[in-house]
Amino acid sequence: MGFFDGYNIATSGMSAQRARINVVSANLANAQTTNTVGGGPYKKQNVVFEEMLVQEKERSNSVSMPKGGNFENTTLRGVGVKTIIESNSKPVMRYEPSHPDANEKGYVAYPDINPVVEMTDLIEAMRTYESNIAAFQTHKNMDNKTLEILKQ
């Protein structure tokens, strides 16, 4: 394990959780959006994470997956955002005949976004972000103590 690996893992976790916080915030902000540029209601988005592995012999700043599925000589390098996917859930139909986006029967399609679930996801992402900060600080404190011991 290299000197900066702990820092790299913690910062990758912070970066991944920051992306998750942004996506959840967008979901909350658009929970009542009935008409988008693409047409129809806003579609909830979810973040998909992936582990980042690096071959022991390739210990550089680049992150790559081993070819052929051989993970014997690999180490965890952190976490990253693999993709952001749109939910395929059906919109929630509400009867609002006076709404400008109402269909011919008077129903409006709203995104299937539960604010309670989104707030829970937001709190979880924030706590995970804070945990990565704590891991970074702990690693920094250990390095500082090591340098103090070596100076003696």
Summarised one tens digit per residue, pLDDT across range 74-111 is: 566 889 999 999 999 999 999 999 999 999 999 999 99
Q: What's phi and psi for 72, nearest 5 deg?
A: -65, -45
In the chain, the percentage of residues whose pLDDT exceeds 90 is 70
What is the pLDDT averaged over residues 44-54? 88
pLDDT of residue 45: 96
Identify whether the C-beta of residue 10 lies closer than 8 Å to the C-beta of residue 135.
Answer: yes
Q: Using CA atoms, how far apart are residues 11 and 129, in angstroms rounded to an integer?
A: 9
Separation between Cα atoms, residue 147 and residue 14, nearest integer Å: 26
Mean pLDDT for 10-33 is: 96
Write the DSSP symbol of residue 21: H
pLDDT of residue 76: 67
Torsion of CA 96, 97, 99, 105, to 10 degrees: 100
Query: Rounded to whole angstroms, what are the CA distances from 144 to 30, 72, 148, 151?
Result: 45, 33, 6, 11
Question: Does the pTM exceed 0.75?
Answer: yes
